[in-house]
């Protein structure tokens, strides 16, 4: 962004992103504005909530890589993700590089052995924006095998963009459409614990319900099997049955269904919010939980 022509192009790109705020075109426009400055791959937008599973609310990942990049990440590794930990621990910065966050020791971590080493990623940076609710929006941008890591000039450019990117994310999150689609303020511990315990109870068997609760709390498949004292293959069979009964096909779909059902906790009382969420609409007001 050192010359007038580059600055002019950035201004044009960011103006399009600003014009798209509050619409589904905002994230594609913002990512395009960044990508026109520095080549990036597999852009992802994550919404991290305190005490709740994360949500991938936008991505540009080819179908053959989605399981490794999203679903497998949600099956437990996200809890060990340095970016996840930073996001939910009052981040001071707006831009982070994974290599710097891990002090160059990423390849020696359990996170790398268990998950990250198989993603085909050789470098990753994120933009973070903390929302008034305490939730955090994270834009993840990657470099893949054969594409090389981010160079020093590229990192300088990405850092220079951090302030406007973070503020645009924050502004977009305050638009009515965004707020109505995503639960941003689940800050009552007792309510959240009840949601973990009640969700799916009207549909699943007691054992499946135990497996589901551990899935929602971010336990990996081996850790869940160990905690329930069952074989890993048995647990996987339970997971398949849960997916079938809840009519979802991925961990992403499952987490989205859970978070969407939370607004119906009040109407469900001590019961399953999913039973209310999936029931046909009726006349009159529904008693929703206020956050």
- The structural domains of the chain, with segments of one domain joined by +, span 4-181, 189-277
- Count how many Cα atoms sit within 13 Å of the Cα of residue 139 in the half-sphere of its side chain: 26
List the one residue out of 133, 112, 110 whose CA is nearest residue 48. 133
* β-bridge partners, 58: 45
Within 10 angstroms of residue 113's Cβ, the number of other Cβ atoms is 11
Q: What does the alpha-carbon distance between residue 280 and residue 179 come to, in Å, rounded to a whole number?
A: 24
* pLDDT for res 190: 59
4-181 folds as Beta-Lactamase (3.30.450)
Residue 186 is predicted with a pLDDT of: 47
Strand partners, 79: none
In this structure, whether the domain defined by 189-277 belongs to CATH 1.10.10.10 is answered with yes
| Interatomic CA distance for residues 267 and 49, integer angstroms | 23
**pTM score, whole prediction:** 0.82
The pLDDT score that the predictor gives to residue 282 is: 56
Dihedral angle, C-alpha 242, 88, 162, 124, nearest 10 °: -60
Q: Two tokens at 156?
A: 């300088």
pLDDT at 271: 87
Over the chain (291 residues), the average pLDDT of each successive run of 10 is 78 95 94 96 92 90 92 89 92 93 93 92 95 88 94 96 94 80 55 85 94 90 92 94 94 89 81 85 50 41
């Amino acid at each position: 962004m050192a010359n007038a022509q580059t600055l002019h192009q950035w201004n044009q790109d960011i103006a399009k992103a600003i014009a798209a705020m509050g619409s589904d075109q905002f994230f594609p426009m913002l990512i395009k504005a960044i990508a026109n400055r520095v080549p990036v791959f597999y852009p992802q937008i994550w919404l991290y909530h305190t005490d709740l599973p994360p949500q991938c609310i936008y991505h540009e990942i080819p179908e053959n890589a989605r399981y490794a990049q999203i679903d497998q990440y949600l099956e437990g590794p996200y809890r060990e993700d340095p970016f996840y930990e930073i996001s939910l621990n009052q981040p001071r910065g707006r831009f982070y590089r994974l290599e710097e966050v891990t002090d160059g020791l990423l390849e020696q971590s359990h996170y790398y052995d268990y998950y990250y080493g198989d993603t085909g990623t050789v470098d990753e940076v994120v933009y973070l924006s903390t929302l008034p609710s305490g939730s955090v929006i994270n834009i993840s941008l990657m470099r893949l095998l054969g594409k090389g890591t981010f160079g020093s000039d590229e990192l300088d450019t990405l850092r220079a963009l951090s302030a406007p990117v973070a503020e645009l994310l924050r502004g977009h999150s305050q638009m009515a459409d965004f707020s109505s689609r995503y639960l941003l303020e689940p800050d009552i511990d007792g309510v959240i614990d009840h949601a973990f315990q009640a969700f799916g109870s009207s549909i699943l068997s007691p054992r499946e319900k135990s497996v589901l609760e551990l899935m929602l709390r971010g336990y990996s498949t081996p850790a869940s099997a160990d905690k329930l004292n069952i074989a890993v293959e048995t647990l996987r069979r339970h997971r398949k049955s849960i997916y079938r009964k809840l009519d979802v096909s991925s961990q992403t779909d499952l987490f989205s269904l859970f978070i969407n059902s939370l607004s119906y906790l009040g109407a469900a009382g001590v019961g399953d919010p999913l039973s209310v969420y999936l029931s046909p609409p009726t006349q009159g007001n529904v008693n929703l939980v206020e956050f």
